[in-house]
Amino acid sequence: MKEFYQIHELAKLFDLCPDTLRYYEEKGLLHPVRGENRYRMYGIQDVCTLNIIRSLRELDLPTREIGAYLEHRSVGETLELLDREEGLLKRRMEELEAARKEAAERRARLERYRAVEAGIVELVREPERPYVFLEKDFILEKEIDFQLKRLEQRHQNYIQVIGSQCMGAQVDEESLKKGIFNHFSRVFFLTSPGLPFDDELPAGEYARLYYRGEYDRLEEHWKKLLAGVERTGYHPAGAPLELYRIDAHDTNCPEEYVTELQVRVCAM
C-alpha cells in the first residue's frame, strides 16, 4: 500500500483539477509534504480531509468555516453541521416542490388555452384581480416584451416571464379613439393571492374574445369584440386588455399564439 500520492493521482481520485488542491493548500485546508523532487505528496489523512471538504462544500460553506471545522472537529461540531445540512436539504426540497408546482401550472395553462375556441365573444364575471404594472405615456407593441422584462426585474422574487402567472398589456384608450391600435399604456402581471401588488383590476362583467396568431391584427379583433358587446346591450367601460395566454415563450409558431382580448362592460 502506498504511503503517499502525487497531486495528479489525488485530483483524479476526487475528479478535481490540481489547481483546486493547490487552492485548498493555500487556504490551509490541506498540508501535503514535499518529496525529494519537491513534488507535493499527499497522505491518507489528506484523503480523509478531502472527503470532509467535499461534503462541506456541498453546504456552500466558505473555506474559512471549513478550516475552523477541520481544526476543532468533534462529534458536537459534526452534529451542528448535520443540523445545518438538514435545513439546507429542507429548503432545497421546498424549492423543488415549488418548481414542480410551477411546471404543472404552466402545463395546465398550455393545455387549456390551446384548446379554446377563437373568435367567439363571451360575457364573463371576473373577480378583483391584483396585479403589478409598469406604466408609460405609451408603449409600442414591439416594446411590450422589453417592458415586461423590466417589470419582472422589479418583482423578480415572485414574478417570472416564463411561468404560470398571466402577463398582459392595456391598450392606450386615447390612442384607440384616434384609430391607433399599436399603442399601450401599461404592461402587467396578474399576481397570486397573498403576494404584493400595485393595484387591482376591478371586479365586474367583462367581454372577452380569444384570437390566435400574431398581434398585428388587434384592430380586426377589437372591432369584432366591440360589435359583440353592442349586440348584448352593453358598452365598454374602460380600455381593452390583452392577456397573453400562449406566446413566443411557449412556441416558435406564431399561429399557435393565443391572446385573450378582454374589456370591462356595463349596461347602456
The predicted-structure confidence for 234-261, as pLDDT tens digits, reads as follows 999 999 999 999 999 999 999 999 999 9
How far is C-alpha 68 from the chain's CA centre? 37
Q: Average pLDDT of 222-230?
A: 94
Q: Which residue shows C-alpha cell 373577480?
A: 127
Residue 195 DSSP label: S
The CATH topology of domain 122-267 is: Multidrug-efflux Transporter 1 Regulator Bmrr; Chain A (3.20.80)
Q: Average pLDDT of 113-122?
A: 95
Tell me the pTM: 0.75
Higher pLDDT, 194 or 169: 169
Stretch(es) of the chain classified as CATH 1.10.1660.10: 5-73
Q: What does each C-alpha distance from 178 to 88, 137, 158, 181 come to in angstroms?
A: 57, 15, 37, 9
Stretch(es) of the chain classified as CATH 3.20.80.10: 122-267
Q: For residue 187, what is the enclosing H or E element?
A: strand 183-190
Q: What does each C-alpha distance from 65 to 11, 82, 207, 239 come to in angstroms?
A: 23, 14, 61, 58
**What pLDDT does residue 160 have?**
80
Give the residue among 24, 1, 20, 2 at the shortest CA–CA distance from 11: 20
**What pLDDT does residue 1 have?**
58
The CATH topology of domain 5-73 is: Multidrug-efflux Transporter Regulator; Chain: A; Domain 2 (1.10.1660)
Cα(161)–Cα(62) distance, integer angstroms: 33
Q: For residue 235, what is the enclosing H or E element?
A: strand 234-236
Cα(219)–Cα(100) distance, integer angstroms: 39
